Amino acid sequence: MLPAALAVLSAFTPLAANAASPVDADQRAKALVQQMTLDEKLKLVFGYFSTDFKGVAKPAQGVPYSAGFVYGIERLGIPHQQLTDAGMGVATQPGPAPRARTALAAGISTAASWNPAVAYAGGAMIGQEARLSGHNVMLAGAANLQREPRNGRNFEYGGEDPLLNGVMAGEQIRGIQSNHVIATVKHFALNNQETGRMKVDAKLDDAAARMSDLLAFQIAIERGNPGSVMCGYNRVNGHYACESDYLLNQVLKRDWAYKGYVMSDWGATHSTIPAALNGLDQQSGWPFDLSPYFKEPLKEAVENGHVPASRLDDMALRILRPMVANGLLEHPVAVAEDKIDFAANAAISQAGAEEGMVLLKNDQQLLPLADRYASIAIIGGHADVGVLSGGGSSQVYPAGGSAVPNEGPASFPGPIVYLPSSPMQALAKRLKAKFVYHDGKDAAAAAKLAASSDLAIVFATQWTAESLDQADLKLPHGQDDTIAAVAAANQRTVVVLETGTPVTMPWLGSVGAVLEAWYPGSAGGEAIARVLTGEVDASGRLPATFPQSEAQLPRPVIDGTGLKEDVRFATDYNIEGAAVGYKWFDKKNLKPLFAFGHGLSYTTFHYEGLQASASNGTISVSFKVANSGAREGKAVPQIYVSKIGAGWEAPKRLGGWDKLALKPGEARSTRVEIDPRTLAVFDSRRGKWKIAAGDYLVTLAEAADAPVTTVKVRLPAREFAAGAR
Ligand code: BGC
C-alpha cells in the first residue's frame, strides 16, 4: 500500500540503521539484566523531569528544558535516556531560551496526506533532529483516535479511522527509530479528551475498543515497533490507564506480545504495587506525581516480595531490549546542533504540509489562483508574518521566536506560537498582484478592503492546545462574521483554515473556495502558497468528518464540562462504541458538512476495472486509475468494505487505500490488500477476531460519501488470534 514518495521525501537519508536483530537484542538485554544489581535495575525504571520543577532540580546530565531523563549504568555501557517531545519535532519545555527546531505540519495534516511516505520522512527528520539535540528517546507516535472533534490535542493525532491513524503513526515511529532513537506510541488508551483529562473514566466494552481505539495502537505498534508505549492520564473502565491490567498486561503484553516498555505520562503514575503488577515499567517525570513511586517505595516492595523480583527484571529487560535493538548503546547521543541541516529539513516539512492540505470547496474554480488579479486582499490569521502551530508539550519553537510575540496564555499550554513563514510573502513572490494585509479584527473594515480588491483571501485560525478542549466547533474571535462580511463584499473570496480540529462554516455558501491547511509547520507559508497557486496539486483528504453542528455528535457537550478540577466523572464511549466518526454519521444517517475522505484535486480522476477476490483469508482489490484532467495530480482512491446482512457497528469501514501521482492522461493499475481486521468482528469471549462467511461489498470511493463503483466478494469464515492479522 506504500505509494511512491515525492522525490524530496524519498531522498531523505536517515543517519544509519544497523540496529541489532530482535534475537540478539533479546539475548544481550537479558545478559545485561543478569549483571545488574537491584539498585541498578531500579535506576532504569525511574524517570526525572529534565527541567527544574516544583522545587526538584533537573539531573545535571539531563538536556535542559527537555521532557525527561533516566540514569544509565556506566559500568555496563548503558547510556542515560534523554527524552524529548514530540510528534511535530523537537520541543522545548517552558524556559527562557527555547531551542529552535524544524516543525512538521500537525499530525492531523500528516494523516490528511494519506501518504505513509510523508509520515516516515517526517519521522526520520525529527528523529535526526532529536538525536542532534542530545536525545535518544522521542515521545512521538501519537495514535489516539479522534472520537471527540473538540479535543484540544486532535492536531497531534491521526484522525478518526483506526487503520489510517495506525498506519500513519506506525510510519512516523519507523522513521524516528531509523536514527537510533526510541519512539513512543501514546497515549494508551482512550485518552480522547482534555476536559478533566486526569479525572475522566472512559468507558468502552472490550470488543468495541479492539475494533476502534485499540486497533489504531495495534496497527501503529506492529508497523512501527516502537520501543515504548506511554499510558495516558485517564482511567479506562474504572482503572487508571497506567495501572490497568486489562490495557497493559492483557491487551498489550499478552495479546499483542509487545516486548518493549510502558512509561507513564507525566503525572499519570498513581501507585507502586498496583502499577508495577499491572504492567507499568517506568515512572516518568516523577515530580509530576504525588510520590517517587518507582524509587524507594518500589525497592521496598521488591524487598518485601509485594512486587516479585522477576517483575523488576522484566521491567528492566523491557527497557533495555529496545535500547539494544535500536542501537542506543553503540550510538551515543551528543548535542551537535551545527549538524542540523535546517534548509533540508524545512523542505521535508514543506513537502509533507503540501500533501496534507485539503481543498474542501472550489466551486468557482477560483483555485488554483490565476495570475490575473491586480490586487489581492489578505485578511486575518497573521498571514503577513507566519502560520499558526498547536500548543502544549509538543510545541516546537522557531528561530527568533514566534512571529507574533506575546500571544495567548503566558504559562502552559501557551504561548501561542506563529512560525515565521508568511503565506502572504510566499504568494507575493509568485503573483504579480498588489497585496494588502488587514488583520480582520474589524469585519466592516476588512470587507471594505475586500470590496476594493480583485480577490480576497481570508486566513482563519483556531488555536488548539493540550489541556484545553474547544467549547464548540465554531471558529473563535468572531472570525465567522469577518468571513461573511468579506464574502458579501467580494464574490471572489478564498478561505484558508489553520485549525487543529474540524470547524463549522456558516458562511460556506457564499465563499468561492476553502482550503484546510491545518497547522502547516516551519515552511507552512510556502506550502500554502504552492497549493493555492497550483504549483502542487491539492492532494490531502480529510482524516476526520467535519460535522454540521455539535448536535450531530454522540455527545453534544463534552462530559466533565463545567465540573470543578477535582471532580471525577465518566464518559460513556459505549454510546457510539466502535462507530467512531464517519461510522457514526453513516449509522445515524447524518449528513456532515464534509465527509471523511473528502478533498478536491485540481484535476479529475477516472476509475475502472474494480475487481475483488478472496485471498489468504482477506480481500485483494485491484483497479485502474487514470488522470482524466489537464493537470498533474494525486488521486486517493479509498476502499470501503461492508458486510452484507450487517452485524457490524456501522455500515462500512475503511479497509485500505492508495495514493498515486499521475500526469495528465496517465493511467495506472493498482492493488490494495484489505486489512483483515477491518473485515472482522472481535469476539471478546474467545479473545479472537472473526470474519463471518458470506458476501461483502467492496466500494471504491473518493470519500466516505462519494462512492465510485462497487463489487461483491464472498469470503469463507476465518478466525484469528487477537494479535494476529
Ligand atoms: C503529555 C505528553 C508528553 C509529556 C512530557 C504530558 O503532559 O501528555 O504527551 O509527552 O507531557 O512532556
Q: What is the pLDDT of residues 466-499, one digit of tens each?
A: 999 999 999 999 999 999 999 999 999 999 999 9
Ligand 1 atom at shortest distance from the alpha carbon of 83 = 5
Do 406 and 418 meet the contact criterion of CB atoms below 8 Å apart? no
Q: Whose CA is nearest to atom 2 of ligand 1?
A: 265
**265 in contact with ligand 1, CB cutoff 6 A:** yes
Tell me, in angstroms, the distance from the centre of ligand 1 to residue 165's CA.
19
Apex CA 367: angle with CA 366 and CA 368, to 5°? Answer: 140
> What is the pLDDT, as a whole number, of residue 19?
61
Residue 616: its pLDDT value, please? 85
Span from the CA of 5 to the centroid of ligand 1 (angstroms): 31
Q: Evaluate: CB of 469 within 6 angstroms of ligand 1.
A: no
pLDDT at 1 over 70: no
Atom of ligand 1 nearest to the CA of 86: 10
Check residue 23 and give its pLDDT: 80
Distance CA 90, CA 22 (A): 28
pLDDT tens-place string over residues 78-136: 999 999 999 999 999 988 889 999 999 999 999 999 999 999 999 999 999 999 999 99
- Max Cα separation, the chain? 80
> What number does the ligand 1 atom closest to the CA of 392 have?
7
Indicate which atom in ligand 1 lies nearest the CA of residue 233. Answer: 8
Query: Is the predicted pLDDT of residue 7 greater than 60, yes or no?
Result: no
Q: Provide the 10 A C-beta neighbour count for residue 426.
A: 22
Q: Name which of 377, 496, 397 is nearest 91 in CA terms.
A: 397
For strands 81-85 and 66-70, give the pairing: antiparallel
Interval between CA 44 and ligand 1 midpoint (Å): 19
Q: Ligand 1 pocket, 266 CB below 6 A?
A: yes
Please give the pLDDT value at position 364.
76
Distance CA 639, CA 696 (A): 12
Q: Is the pLDDT of residue 426 over 50?
A: yes
Instruction: For residue 570, report the distance from its CA to the centre of ligand 1, in Å.
Output: 22
pLDDT > 90: percent of the chain = 95
Q: How far apart are the first and last CA of the chain?
A: 16
At 617 the pLDDT is 86
pLDDT of 14 > 60? The answer is no
Confidence of residue 21 (pLDDT cuts 50, 70, 90): confident
Is 139's C-beta closer than 6 angstroms to any atom of ligand 1?
yes
Mean pLDDT of 537-557: 98
pLDDT given for residue 389 in this prediction: 98
Average per-residue pLDDT for the chain: 96
User: Which residue, among 463, 442, 455, 560, has the nearest Cα to 511 in the 3D structure?
Assistant: 455
Residue 511 reports pLDDT greater than 70: yes
pLDDT band (50, 70, 90) for residue 615: confident
Contact 412, 94 (CB under 8 A): yes
Residue of the CA atom closest to atom 3 of ligand 1: 393
What residue type is 93 in one-letter code? Q
- As a whole number, mean pLDDT of residues 362-388 equals 96
Indicate the top mutation candidate among 51, 197, 228, 266 to test ligand 1's pocket, ranked by most ligand atoms within 8 A of CB.
266
The neighbouring-strand residues paired with 612 are 621
Taking only the tens place, the pLDDT of each residue in 213-255 is 999 999 999 999 999 999 999 999 999 999 999 999 999 999 9
* CA 530–ligand 1 middle distance (angstroms): 33
User: What tens digit of pLDDT does each residue of 61-91 get?
Assistant: 999 999 999 999 999 999 999 999 999 999 9
pLDDT digits (tens, 9 = 90+) for 653-703: 999 999 999 999 999 999 999 999 999 999 999 999 999 999 999 999 999
Residue 266 CA to ligand 1 centre (angstroms): 6
Q: Write down the pLDDT at residue 2.
A: 35
Which of 711, 712, 700 lies closest to 606 in space, CA to CA?
700
Q: Is 67 in the pocket of ligand 1 (CB under 6 A)?
A: yes
**Dist. CA 395 → ligand 1 center (Å):** 11
The grid coordinates of residue 232 equal 495516558
Which whole number is the average pLDDT over 518-530? Answer: 98
pLDDT tens, 191-200?
999 999 999 9
pLDDT for res 11? 39
Query: What is the model's pLDDT at position 12?
Result: 41
pLDDT at position 211: 98
For residue 6, is pLDDT > 80?
no
Rounded Cα–Cα distance for residues 575 and 145 (Å)? 16
Cα(102)–Cα(121) distance, rounded to whole angstroms? 13
- Judge whether residue 15 has pLDDT over 90: no
- 116 CB-contact burial (10 Å; exposed 0-12 / middle 13-18 / buried 19+): buried
From CA 601, how far away is CA 537, in angstroms rounded?
Answer: 6
Inform me whether the pLDDT recorded for 724 exceeds 60.
yes
Residue 393 near ligand 1, beta carbon < 6 Å:
yes
Instruction: Of 640, 634, 641, 642, give the one whose Cα is nearest residue 668.
Output: 634
Residue 392 CA, ligand 1 centroid: distance in Å: 8
